[in-house]
Structure 1
Amino acid sequence: MAAILRRGPSKWARLLAWNTLEDTVSPGSWFHGRIYENGCSISPDGTLFAYFATKYSGERTREVDCAWTAISKLPWLTALALWPQSDTWGGRTSFVDNHTLIIDCPHWEKLKTKDKLPRGFRVHPRWIGKGAPNQDLPQIPKASASFDGSQGKDQGGRTFAYRDGKLIRGERVVVDLSAMAPDPQPSPSSAHKW
């Protein structure tokens, strides 16, 4: 499973889930704000999506300022758990396994959520800098897929390309992202539960 973040038009992003074995794409949430693609990760089983987002609109929800880290069910952005961030210096995420998430956080002592995490789910703060907590963190597995902006390899080593807004495998267009326009829809009830 892979996540596709389609950015644009201006200040919009869309999350889609790509089943790389079957080459099927499931459309998900539209978001009016910024999702930092280098701050996202997927659980190894492909069900959870952790992301770092900002929204500078004056609109404040869930006691969140303008930046936050959240966990949702792929391909939705409905937060199952949310951690407010005070700035964009941290917030990036890395799944270690299906039940362990590391969040980069310069203010690690403030890394708290009001949301209930499932039994056995662990979140560790990480910050490499002054005042960093001295703790032994679990090892983050190396990415099994790669992408350089125009072509890449999925987890199985199969090649794909991205051209003119289209995700292509061989000669087949897997998904055409170029014609998508923002159309926010509510997430299904299944996206609201762990």
Structure 2
Amino acid sequence: MKNYAYAVVTILIALAVAHFLADDSYQWQVNSISQLGAQAYDKAWIIHFGFIAFGIIVLLTGTSRIRMDVRYWFRETPIMIYGFAILLSGIFSAEPFMAGVAYSTQEAQLHGLFATVAGFALTTAILMFTFTDVPNSRRIVHFIALVLVTGFSLLFGVLPNVAGIMQRLLWVAGFSWLLYLGFNPIPRDHSNAKSSA
């Protein structure tokens, strides 16, 4: 398993099902993706499954890619940390989107912590590829992904009325980058790649 597409497809299916079955009180434009797996929500298991499965597949894929070419372990490792953090965020649930529901603030904080770690790890991974990948055309793709992921992350935090939209755009950018890695294999020989740039 050397393609992150399997992980992306798995979580996209879970997201689609979770959105389709979401309660009327859930507003995707405002509420976060994590709140599809909120505490006290009877359909939370759907997105929990998606997060955990995504994390496992990312870990397996990253391990396979490192074994394929150990020289680039430092670029794949942040992606694996990202996947592991998403996995953990599927174990600890976010705060409810339903009003007046009691919940564990500690569990919500743990979920938020792992979600933050995931975002930081993904950004770090994209940054690593931006500075070390070849040829230059690939670096440009990584840089665009870096700008989009960073930009949508900032907008997610400062535009609460459309936070759900911003987060989904952030995920689209991140998943698109993972798909790019999967369908555009790392050049086996950097010197050859440079000479063809």
Please indicate, yes or no, whether the TM-score normalized by the shorter chain is above 0.5.
Answer: no
Give the TM-score category using the shorter length: under 0.3
* Bigger RCO of structures 1 and 2 (CA < 8 A, at least 6 apart): 2
Q: TM-score, normalised by structure 1?
A: 0.24
Q: TM-score, normalised by structure 2?
A: 0.24
Q: Which has the higher helix share?
A: 2
Q: Which has the higher strand share?
A: 1
